[in-house]
Amino acid sequence: MRIENGSGLLTYTTRSDEEVTYAYTPNTGSVTDWTVSVKGKSSFRPAVDSGPVFDFGGQSCGGVGKGGAPARLLAHKVEGDRLMAEWKY
């Protein structure tokens, strides 16, 4: 795990010898910000419009998208082999 240009990056090589990089670039403060890329192929965002769902007095509210709770990223850092992100909803 490393941080480059404000993004947390985790790169590994698969059993089939493909290089895969998971990148967390904080924009919305949710898992929507994850991008996965395989060297030589198009990248994709596996968690677009998803993330935590909160229960406010019996009413569900997602972290992003229509009707979502506004999110603000407070901080992110690498601790050992983990990317730690703190959000305020």
* Rounded mean pLDDT, 21-28: 88
Indicate the pTM of the whole model: 0.55
pLDDT digits (tens, 9 = 90+) for 35-76: 999 988 989 887 776 655 666 677 766 655 555 666 677 888
**How far apart are alpha carbons 40 and 67 in whole angstroms?**
37
Please, what is the average pLDDT of the chain? 79
How is 26-58 classified by DSSP, letter by letter?
-SSSSGGGEEEEETTS--B-TTTT---EEEETT
Give the pLDDT of residue 30. Answer: 74
Q: Angle at CA 81, nearest 5°, toward 9 and 46?
A: 45
Q: What is the distance between the alpha carbons of residues 13 and 2, in angstroms, rounded to a whole number?
A: 16
Helix (H) or strand (E) holding 67, with range, is none
Q: Is pLDDT larger for residue 77 or for residue 72?
A: 77
